[in-house]
C-alpha cells in the first residue's frame, strides 16, 4: 500500500497532473480535564507545504451536544472519518434512545482509524462529558491506539508545549485555571510552529453542553508571548539598528 | 569531485528567511523583510535582521539560508574596502554585477549560495550631484539569474504579492512618495502573514534615499484582520 502511494505522486505532464503537498492540518491541539468537564483548544491553520490554505479553520468538530473531536493530520482524512463516525454514533443514539458514552464513541473512531490505518493519516482527540464518567479525553494518534488522558497535546505544534503542559498539570483544576493553561499552551505552540497559527479556538464541554469561544489576535484576550529584547544581528562594527 | 567536496557544499538550506518585498519610489527604494529565522517550519530565532547596510548608497536584503549570507556579508565587506582603496564608494549597480558573477560561478561549481538577494540603492549618475541619482533594485536568485526591476517580491511572496504590488505601482508609478510606498509594503505584508507558514508578524522597513542615504528600519508589528474567523468555519 505504501509503495502504491509513492508511485501515484509522480508528475504526468501530458495530462497536466502535478502532485502537490498534501493538505494537512499541521496543528496544535490541546485537551485537558478539569473538575467538571474538559477544555480543548486548537489553532486555526491548514497548510499545504509552506502555503496556508485556510487561516481560520475550525478544527473542533462537534459530534453530539456533549462531545467534540479535534482533528489533526490530513484534512481530508479527518473530515471523512469524523462524518462517518458521527453517522454511526447518531444511528446508535436513535436506535437505543439514549446518548452514546464518550468511551464508546472513541471506540467507534478507533474502529475506522485502526482498520484503515495504512490508508489514513489522521490523529484525533475525542473529548466530551457523559453521566457515567464525567469529563473524558481520549487520544487516538496515528495507528489507532486509544488511551484516556487527563492532559494531552496533539499535532505538529504539540512538541513545543509538552514540557509546558507537564509543568502546569495538577489535579482538580478549576474551569478558569484550565482555560488559561490551554489558551497559553496554544499561544506558545503557535509562536514557534510554522504549521500552527491564526486564531485560538476553545471549547468547554461539561454537563451543560458545549460552549465555544474564539480568541482573535486583533482583539484582547489573545495569549501573549513575551519575547526577550534582542542582541545585534551583525558583528558590532557594522552599522545596524537593534 | 571527491567525497571530501560534499562536506563543503550547501546542499540543503537549514536556517532560512522568507520573502523580501522592495519598491521604488520618487527619490529612493523601500525594502521590507520580517525578522524570523526558520528552521524548517519552526520559528527558531526571532529578532534577526535580514537587511544589511553596505554603505550610504546600497542596502542588501536576503531570503534563503542565513549561514550562506553570513559568509556573503564578509565577502561584500571586503569588496567595499577594495573599492575604498581607490577612494570610491561601491554603487548598487556595481555590487549587483559583482554578486551576479559570484553567485553564478558558485552555482556552476555546484556549490550555490542559497540566497535570493535584493540589492537596493541609489545610483549616482553624476559625481556629487544628488539631483540626478536614480533608484535601483536588482535581484539575484541562488542560481545566479539576475535582473533589474522597479518592484519585487521574493520567496512565497513571489506567488502572493507581485500582482498586488504591481496593481499599486500602476496607480502612481514612479511618482510614489515614501509614505505611499511604505503603505503598499505594509499592505502586502498582511498577505504573507495570512498565507505563508514561515512568515512572522514582526518586520522592519529599510530605505535608501537620495538625500538621506540608507536608513535602517525599526522593528514593527502587524496583526491583520481576523474577522473572517467569526463566520461559520465548520466544514459541513
Q: What is the pLDDT of residue B13?
A: 87
Which cell is B138 given?
A: 536588482
Choice among B10, B16, B18, B100 that is catalytic: B10
CA separation, residue B196 to residues A53, A102, B51, B229 (Å): 9, 37, 20, 18
CA separation, residue A34 to residues A23, A45, A60, A70, A135 (Å): 33, 26, 18, 18, 8
Q: Which domains does chain B have, with CATH numbers?
A: 16-224 (3.60.20.10)
Chain B CB contacts of A55 under 8 Å are 194-195, 228
SS3 A95: helix
Residue B228's CB is within 10 A of a number of other CB atoms, namely 16
Q: What is the pLDDT of residue A2?
A: 41
What ipTM was predicted for this assembly? Answer: 0.85
Domains of chain A by residue range? 21-215
Report the DSSP beta bridge partners of residue B205.
B32
Of A153, A168, A136, nearest in space to A36 by CA: A136
Among A21, A44, A50, the residue to mutate for chain B (most B Cβ within 10 A)? A50
The chain A residue lying nearest B157, using CA atoms, is A51
Asked if the C-beta of A26 comes within 8 angstroms of chain B's C-beta atoms, the answer is yes
CB nearest B230 (choices: A156, A214, A231):
A214
Asked if the C-beta of A192 comes within 8 angstroms of chain B's C-beta atoms, the answer is yes
- What are the tens digits of pLDDT across the range A120-166? 999 999 999 999 999 999 999 999 999 999 999 999 999 999 999 99
Does residue B130 register a pLDDT over 80?
no
Contact A26, A195 (CB under 8 A): yes
A21-215: which CATH architecture? 4-Layer Sandwich (3.60)
Asked if the C-beta of B46 comes within 8 angstroms of chain A's C-beta atoms, the answer is yes
Which residue carries 493519516 as its cell? A121
Q: How confident is the model at residue A3 (pLDDT cuts 50, 70, 90)?
A: very low
User: What distance in Å separates the CA atoms of residue A52 and residue B197, rounded to the nearest whole number?
Assistant: 6
- What are the tens digits of pLDDT across the range A168-212? 999 999 999 999 999 999 999 999 999 999 999 999 999 999 999
User: What distance in Å separates the CA atoms of residue A45 and residue A71, rounded to the nearest whole number?
Assistant: 12
Does residue B220 register a pLDDT over 50?
yes
Chain B CB contacts of A214 under 8 Å are 229-230
Chain B CB contacts of A87 under 8 Å are none
User: What distance in Å separates the CA atoms of residue A13 and residue A18, rounded to the nearest whole number?
Assistant: 7
Asked if the C-beta of B227 comes within 8 angstroms of chain A's C-beta atoms, the answer is yes
- What are the tens digits of pLDDT across the range A16-73? 777 776 676 689 999 999 999 999 999 999 998 889 999 999 999 999 999 999 999 9
Of B72, B25, B67, B43, nearest in space to B205 by CA: B25
Chain B CB contacts of A241 under 8 Å are 49, 204, 216-218
Which cell is A20 given?
A: 502537490
- What are the tens digits of pLDDT across the range B113-125? 999 999 999 998 8
- What are the tens digits of pLDDT across the range B38-85? 998 899 999 999 999 999 999 999 999 999 999 999 999 999 999 999
Q: What is the pLDDT of residue A141?
A: 93
- What are the tens digits of pLDDT across the range B172-217? 888 899 999 999 999 999 989 999 999 999 999 999 999 999 999 9
- What are the tens digits of pLDDT across the range A160-180? 999 999 999 999 999 999 999
Which cell is A219 given?
A: 482583539
Contact B146, B140 (CB under 8 A): yes
User: What distance in Å separates the CA atoms of residue B133 and residue B122, rounded to the nearest whole number?
Assistant: 6
Asked if the C-beta of B127 comes within 8 angstroms of chain A's C-beta atoms, the answer is no
SS3 B12: coil
Q: At what angle do helices A102-115 and A75-96 cross, to 10 degrees?
A: 130
Amino acid at each position: 500500500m505504501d509503495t502504491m502511494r509513492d508511485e501515484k505522486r509522480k508528475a504526468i505532464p501530458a495530462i497536466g497532473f502535478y502532485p502537490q503537498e498534501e493538505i494537512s492540518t499541521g496543528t496544535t491541539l490541546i485537551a485537558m480535564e478539569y473538575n467538571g468537564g474538559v477544555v480543548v483548544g486548537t489553532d486555526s491553520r491548514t497548510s499545504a507545504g509552506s502555503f496556508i490554505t485556510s487561516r481560520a479553520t475550525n478544527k473542533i468538530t462537534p459530534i453530539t451536544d456533549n462531545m467534540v473531536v479535534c482533528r489533526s493530520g490530513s484534512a481530508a482524512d479527518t473530515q471523512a472519518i469524523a462524518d462517518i463516525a458521527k453517522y454511526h454514533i447518531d444511528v446508535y443514539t436513535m436506535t437505543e434512545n439514549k446518548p452514546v458514552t464518550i468511551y464508546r464513541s472513541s471506540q467507534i473512531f478507533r474502529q475506522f482509524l485502526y482498520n484503515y490505518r495504512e490508508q489514513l493519516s489522521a490523529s484525533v482527540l475525542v473529548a466530551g462529558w457523559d453521566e457515567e464518567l464525567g469529563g473524558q479525553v481520549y487520544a487516538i494518534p496515528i495507528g489507532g491506539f486509544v488511551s484516556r488522558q487527563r492532559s494531552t497535546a496533539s499535532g505538529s505544534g504539540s512538541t513545543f508545549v509538552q514540557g509546558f503542559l507537564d509543568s502546569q498539570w495538577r489535579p482538580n483544576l478549576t474551569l478558569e485555571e484550565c482555560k488559561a493553561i490551554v489558551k497559553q499552551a496554544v499561544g506558545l505552540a503557535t509562536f514557534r510552529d510554522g504549521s500552527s497559527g491564526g486564531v485560538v479556538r476553545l471549547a468547554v464541554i461539561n454537563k451543560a453542553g458545549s460552549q465555544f469561544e474564539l480568541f482573535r489576535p486583533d482583539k484582547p484576550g489573545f495569549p501573549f508571548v513575551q519575547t526577550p529584547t534582542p542582541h545585534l544581528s551583525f558583528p558590532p562594527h557594522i552599522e545596524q539598528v537593534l | 569531485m571527491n567525497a571530501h567536496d560534499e562536506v563543503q557544499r550547501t546542499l540543503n538550506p537549514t536556517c532560512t528567511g522568507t520573502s523580501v518585498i522592495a519598491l521604488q519610489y520618487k527619490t529612493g527604494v523601500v525594502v521590507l523583510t520580517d525578522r524570523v529565522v526558520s528552521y524548517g517550519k519552526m520559528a527558531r530565532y526571532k529578532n534577526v535582521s535580514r537587511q544589511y547596510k553596505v554603505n550610504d548608497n546600497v542596502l542588501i536584503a536576503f531570503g534563503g539560508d542565513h549561514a550562506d549570507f553570513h559568509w556573503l556579508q564578509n565577502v561584500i565587506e571586503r569588496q567595499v574596502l577594495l573599492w575604498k582603496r581607490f577612494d570610491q564608494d561601491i554603487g548598487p549597480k556595481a555590487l549587483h554585477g559583482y554578486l551576479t558573477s559570484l553567485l553564478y560561478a558558485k552555482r556552476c561549481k555546484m556549490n550555490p549560495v542559497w540566497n535570493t538577494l535584493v540589492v537596493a540603492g541609489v545610483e549616482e549618475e553624476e559625481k556629487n550631484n544628488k539631483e540626478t541619482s536614480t533608484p535601483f533594485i536588482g535581484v539575484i536568485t541562488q542560481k545566479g539569474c539576475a535582473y533589474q526591476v522597479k518592484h519585487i517580491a521574493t520567496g512565497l511572496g513571489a506567488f502572493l504579492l507581485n500582482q498586488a504590488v504591481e496593481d499599486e505601482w500602476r496607480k502612481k508609478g514612479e511618482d510614489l512618495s515614501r509614505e505611499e510606498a511604505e503603505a503598499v509594503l505594509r499592505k502586502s505584508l498582511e498577505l504573507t502573514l495570512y498565507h505563508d507558514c514561515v512568515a512572522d508578524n514582526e518586520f522592519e522597513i529599510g530605505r535608501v534615499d537620495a538625500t538621506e542615504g540608507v536608513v535602517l528600519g525599526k522593528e514593527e508589528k502587524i496583526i491583520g484582520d481576523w474577522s473572517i474567523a467569526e463566520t461559520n468555519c465548520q466544514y459541513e
